[in-house]
Amino acid sequence: MGEFVTVREHPDVSLFCSSLGPPDGTPLLVVHGGPDWDHSYLRQPLDRLGRPVLLPDLRGCGRSTRGLGPDGYSFEAAAADLVVLADRLGLDRFDLLGFSTGGQIAQRVLLAAPERVRRTVVASSALWPVTDADFGPWPERTALRAAEAGVWSGSHLTGPALVREAAVAGAPANVHTPERIPGYLALLDRVSWSAEWLEAFRAGSLDSPRPPEGPERLRGLAAPLLFLHGRQDMVFPASFAERAAGFLPGARAVVLEGAGHMAHLDRGEAWLDALDAFLSEP
């Protein structure tokens, strides 16, 4: 099931929003990463969560509005879109999950509408500003991410084909369990790729994905947060999740052993159990 919801006029911006699960219960609004992906790679295991799940495609992504030009894309605007989407869908109170880059956008949504967000999950993402110095010498990460880095620096492809090629090349870095990589590649075949955000990035018009003074403002909220992470995440070290949970009142971290950046695929049942347990608390 899915519907198009207009979240902005002049220019028109409509988000395609898919829904899973039963109609009753506190809905979970899911923010995908990329951002030039769509929501589809997160449908499993969320289709087994047993509560209403809403999965919009961000502006410029999937089946949502494209063609807004480099100035039409920002993380601030993406978060504002999601607050309006919640308005349009009549969500007075909802839970929130942001995955990877979507975890940064979810933090912006929480800060914009803290009275409406019941519980927030930041999955495979980070709270703190990330610099090269935070990673230190990490030969394993460098080796595993070399193929994807080579695509970004040397591929002859452009547009959505380039984004897709980079995602495919990054599979061994993002999925820790080799036996799960073929299934992950099959998921990538079903993603509706775009390059709208990539073009904005190359034009130098993108804002930072992280909300201004995010850690301090979130600390002041003391909102319930779960940092859900894979121990072998090669994008953001698991220590970032543990560090964030120690900094924020009301936050905790669950770090899954044997799971990479796509922890929901490496350790699907454990990932889903941790998510469900957190969301089931009053």
Strand order in the sheet with 117-123: 2-8, 13-20, 53-56, 28-31, 94-99, 117-123, 225-230, 251-256
pLDDT at residue number 166: 98
Question: Which of 6-10, 135-139, 179-183, 190-194 is the least confident region?
Answer: 135-139
Distance in angstroms (rounded) separating the CA atoms of residues 60 and 184: 23
* Alpha carbon 175 to its chain's center: 16
* Alpha carbon 208 to its chain's center: 15
pLDDT at 46 over 80: yes
pLDDT at 90 over 80: yes
Distance in angstroms (rounded) separating the CA atoms of residues 10 and 147: 41
pTM above the 0.85 mark?
yes
Distance in angstroms (rounded) separating the CA atoms of residues 272 and 282: 18
pLDDT at 128 over 80: no
Mean pLDDT estimate for the chain: 96
Q: What is the pLDDT of residues 15-27, one digit of tens each?
A: 999 999 999 999 9
E strand or H helix at 18: strand 13-20
Q: What is the pLDDT of residues 233-257, one digit of tens each?
A: 999 999 999 999 999 999 999 999 9
- Domain 2-140+197-279 fold: Rossmann fold (3.40.50)
Can you tell me the mean pLDDT for 168-188? 98
Distance in angstroms (rounded) separating the CA atoms of residues 82 and 106: 9
Q: What is the pLDDT of residues 102-124, one digit of tens each?
A: 999 999 999 999 999 999 999 99
Distance in angstroms (rounded) separating the CA atoms of residues 223 and 202: 35
In the chain, where the domains are located: 2-140+197-279
Can you tell me the mean pLDDT for 180-186? 98
Q: In the chain, count of helices (H) and strands (E)?
A: 14, 8
Angle (CA) 35 41 47, round 5°: 130
Q: Determine the 3-state secondary structure of 112 from DSSP.
A: helix
Residue 107, strand partner residues: none
Residue 252, strand partner residues: 226
Position of tokens 């992504």? 61
pLDDT at residue number 1: 82
pLDDT at residue number 134: 77
pLDDT at residue number 84: 98
Can you tell me the mean pLDDT for 141-157? 96
